[in-house]
Amino acid sequence: MPESLDPVPEPAGGPLVPPDPAAAPGPGVPQPQLVRSPLSDGEWHRLHPLTPLLRGGLFLIVVIGIVFANLRDRLLYIFLPWLAPGVGDEVVEWEQVGGDPVDFIIANNLYVLAGVAVLAVLIVLVAVFYTSWRFHTFRITDDDVEVRSGILFRTQRRAPLDRVQGVNLTRPMIARLLGMAKLEVVGAGTDANVKLEYLSTANAEAVRADILRLASGRRLAMAAGPAGGPGPRPVGRVASLSQTVGREITGLIEGPEAPVAEVESVVHIPVGRLVASHVLSTSTLGLLFAVVAIVIGVSQGVTWLLLGFVPAIIGFGAYWVRSIVRSLRYSIAPTPDGVRITFGLFTTITEIVPPGRVHAVEVTQGIFWRPAGWWTIRINRLTGRSATDSTTDQFTTVLPVGTASDVDRVLRLLQPSLADEERALILQEGMFGPAEDDTFANTPERAWWIRPLSYRRNGFRLTEDVLLMRRGAVWRKLVILPLARLQSIGLYQGPLDRASRVTNVRAHTVTGPVSPFLAAVDRDTALALFDDVAHGSVRAALTDRTHRWAQDESVAPSTPAPAAASGPEAPAGHGTEPAPTAPSAPVPHPGTVPAPPSSAEPAPASSPAPEDRG
Amino acid sequence: MTNSPEATTPDSSPASTATDGAAEFSRLVEPRSESRLALQSGVWHQISPKYVTVQLISTGSFLAVVIAATLVLTLLMHQIWAWIPGGIMTVILGWTLAILPRQARSIGYQLRDDDLVFRRGILWQRFVAVPYGRMQLIDITHGPLDRGFGIAQLKFVTAAAATGVVIPGLAQSTAETLRDHLVEVAESRRTGL
């Protein structure tokens, strides 16, 4: 069941697609060498035909639920005598008390009318879903991704590619079984994402690769033919669907991702560590505290406290299970187009964050994790979601729990511009400091009372590219701010700070879980920092080219021809063998990627899972 | 402070637009302590004294309403409890009015080569430096009272909500010239997010 691969006829779309004189010539069809999916050829395309089913799924379930609730008695009445012959009479009596619509229909002999009504409703529903699917089209051009939808109220949304903050592929359980995925192009702004839901997984991967390739500004000739390739083998739709379901179930059990060549994750989190890290958390402390309070309360005779305890336990369990399941099968790996982060057991989310989209990084270690040496990494980035969206968390925690060397590897991906020795030093001092010869500018002794526990550790360090803020003795934190992303910097001084001749420093970045704030910095040092950061961030921003991260690589070595033919995308291979694919372009920062140069380019749409096309 | 390769625009361009008489405060109010925040160099531009007038009128009339309401409630309707919220609000508003003239004199901005520096506050000082290239948009707002006195408020918006550079009480012509200047400079130093 393919997305309609034929472009939607632009002018002849009849009443469906109103002629759009502005867009008619197309704002630049992507160069055919750059795109691999037939869906990203600059024409309008429709989404997967099963989209209405998945999107309307919830609605359908609600309707079915209502129908069932209404007919429950009726069903009981039909089946109960058959299952338990003795109770028949009681059921009849019970049934006569409350009338339901079915009784009414039976009593008045309205079978035909009822059937027609149900049929009419169904036809209307199907028609509405079908038209809305017909109207929901997207196109991917040289400069932007565009989606139009709506029947009466048309919406058209266009995301410029050089502002793409990431592309994520969500595969909810049900869609996953049907071999479909939701593609989301993350824009810079609140509720600024462009969603393509749903596409078949193979197409979604190819489209994502195309979007990233177009966004990267890469202008090299991709080897081999673009899209198309040999015509897909015709397979019956039912057979195709059952094959898909079978494959996806296998995939669910065995745990492969989409049929692409995967670069090995640089971090592996054992399940034991994941569970232990949740046990050793503040919420556990809260739970213990509550248990103690309740035990004391109950021993004093306040038994109703027990009633409150049960929901609390259930809530806790649910929270734990949810966050552990979410972090299961976590992986983070470098690709030519950015860092790829995957997580989720049932609903898998794969996100690629292009270089330079990370606005702040925070490495944290709570007191309970210190004996185990675990850290967590969160980032500030534009997720395109509103701040209240609970799923934002998933896109900002890039390392749920890891050792110091895991942190090192993840930081290497997130901040490739840092030199290796420098990063090692930063981590050593920033995470574990202060040591003997500390290079951070710390809180002066006279201001110890502002941070009584951590004043020795509380400090900053400015390097060529990043500003580091180290704080917290109990709750160790290290904030890493790339100057190229820093929006502005502020100094704040209250009367008490002034008395100690110190000031607070706050760096302003996009909203997120990381708050780059440092209290009690020496006043003169802070003023120097104020100027240095101002100049440093201007300089860094001038040399920053990450909005078109691969533009300068147009002289990259051309890809050998066999690469595309014997691509890495054998569906059964789980993509683990290093494919002989040459890098489509050098990784933006050579030397930062430990993996062999096996490209993480998703497969050309032509080769994976040909049975996917009917 | 001038290590930019293209240090061509000195910080005087909007200053020339804002010299019509006593359109601005001329003396910056700072904390007395030596430990206060201060920059080594640069010219601070200040806001129009009309801002104080506008704020006095609006806060003063609000205070008058609060006092009137409190008096009506307590004296005529014998609702004794109204003294408490009424009293608290009166004290807060009175204090706001009292510090307003000094506070307005502490607001200032500098147009450096590559960034805008904004300051405000005396007891609680705040300094913010925003590179011009970080500008997402500039907002100019003026309410009816502002229009009557010919002042406007200029807001410099970046991708970070915390930046919070809001310059109130600029003469309207200054605000517009400053906006055009900032947009122009930002355009020439345009960077990503």
> What CATH number corresponds to the domain at position B158?
2.30.29
B112 shares a domain with B96 = no
Q: Is the pLDDT of residue A10 over 70?
A: no
Q: Is the pLDDT of residue A492 over 90?
A: yes
Chain A / chain B CB contacts < 8 angstroms: 122
Task: Test A508 with B128 for CB contact under 8 angstroms.
Answer: yes
Residue B73 belongs to a domain: yes
Q: Is the pLDDT of residue A316 over 50?
A: yes
What's chain A's length in residues? 614
For chain A, say whether B131 makes contact (Cβ under 8 Å). Answer: yes
Task: Test A506 with B189 for CB contact under 8 angstroms.
Answer: no
Per-residue pLDDT averaged across A384-402, rounded?
76
Of A359, A531, A533, Cβ closest to residue B1: A531
Greatest mean pLDDT among A65-79, B8-22, B89-103 lies in: B89-103
Q: Is the pLDDT of residue B31 over 70?
A: yes
Q: Where are the domains of chain A?
A: 57-132, 271-327, 357-543
* A518 Cβ contact list (under 8 Å, min separation 6): A458, A459, A460, A469, A471, A504, A505, A506
Contact B163, B128 (CB under 8 A): yes
Q: Is the pLDDT of residue B104 over 90?
A: yes
Total structural domains within chain B: 2
Residue B37 belongs to a domain: no
pLDDT digits (tens, 9 = 90+) for B1-14: 334 443 334 444 44
Q: pLDDT tier at A614 (50, 70, 90 boundaries)?
A: very low
pTM of the model: 0.75
The pLDDT, as a whole number, for residue A238 is: 59
Per-residue pLDDT averaged across A312-317, rounded?
81
User: By CA distance, what is A499's nearest residue in B?
Assistant: B35
Residue B157 belongs to a domain: yes
* A106 against A461, higher pLDDT: A461
Task: Test A492 with B125 for CB contact under 8 angstroms.
Answer: yes
Task: Test B131 with A541 for CB contact under 8 angstroms.
Answer: yes
Residue B8 belongs to a domain: no
The pLDDT, as a whole number, for residue A554 is: 45
Q: How do strand A338-343 and strand A331-335 relate by DSSP bridges?
A: antiparallel
For chain A, say whether B69 makes contact (Cβ under 8 Å). Answer: no
Which residues constitute the domain of residue B92? 52-100
Task: Test B37 with A163 for CB contact under 8 angstroms.
Answer: no
Q: Is the pLDDT of residue B175 over 50?
A: yes
The residue type at B190 = R
pLDDT digits (tens, 9 = 90+) for A285-303: 888 888 888 888 888 877 7
Q: pLDDT tier at A470 (50, 70, 90 boundaries)?
A: very high
For chain A, say whether B2 makes contact (Cβ under 8 Å). Answer: no
Q: Is the pLDDT of residue A258 over 90?
A: no
The pLDDT, as a whole number, for residue A21 is: 40
B181 shares a domain with B139 = yes
Q: How do strand A194-200 and strand A331-335 relate by DSSP bridges?
A: unpaired
Residue B1 belongs to a domain: no
Of B40, B117, B125, Cβ closest to residue A493: B125
Task: Test A538 with B4 for CB contact under 8 angstroms.
Answer: yes
Q: pLDDT tier at A347 (50, 70, 90 boundaries)?
A: confident
Percent of chain B with pLDDT over 70: 87
Residue B7 belongs to a domain: no
What number is the ipTM of this complex?
0.85
Contact B82, B182 (CB under 8 A): no
Distance in angstroms (rounded) separating the CA atoms of residues A187 and A62: 32
Task: Test A487 with B129 for CB contact under 8 angstroms.
Answer: no
When the pLDDT of each residue in chain B is averaged and rounded to a whole number, the result is 85
Residue B122 belongs to a domain: yes
Of A120-124, A415-419, A534-538, B74-78, which range is least confident? A415-419
Contacts of A535 in chain B (CB under 8 A): 1, 3-4, 114
A262: helix, strand or coil: coil
Cα dihedral: A212, A218, A224, A229 (round 10): 30
Distance in angstroms (rounded) separating the CA atoms of residues B22 and B20: 7
Residue B180 belongs to a domain: yes
Q: Is the pLDDT of residue A232 over 50?
A: no
pLDDT digits (tens, 9 = 90+) for A190-206: 777 888 888 888 888 88
The pLDDT, as a whole number, for residue B86 is: 92
pLDDT digits (tens, 9 = 90+) for A75-116: 766 766 666 665 555 545 555 555 566 777 777 777 888 889
Of B31, B112, B158, Cβ closest to residue A487: B158
Contact A221, A34 (CB under 8 A): no
For chain A, say whether B112 makes contact (Cβ under 8 Å). Answer: yes
Contacts of B111 in chain A (CB under 8 A): none
* A412 Cβ contact list (under 8 Å, min separation 6): A266, A418, A420, A423, A592
B95 shares a domain with B134 = no
B154 shares a domain with B134 = yes
Contacts of A503 in chain B (CB under 8 A): 37
Per-residue pLDDT averaged across A110-136, rounded?
87
B130 shares a domain with B170 = yes
B77 shares a domain with B61 = yes
Q: pLDDT tier at A243 (50, 70, 90 boundaries)?
A: low
pLDDT digits (tens, 9 = 90+) for A406-452: 999 999 888 888 888 888 878 888 888 787 788 889 999 999 999 99
Per-residue pLDDT averaged across A535-542, rounded?
88
Task: Test A534 with B115 for CB contact under 8 angstroms.
Answer: yes
When the pLDDT of each residue in chain A is averaged and rounded to a whole number, the result is 75
Q: Backbone phi, then psi, for A397, in 5-degree steps?
A: -90, 105
Nearest CA among A217, A324, A211 for reference residue A278: A324
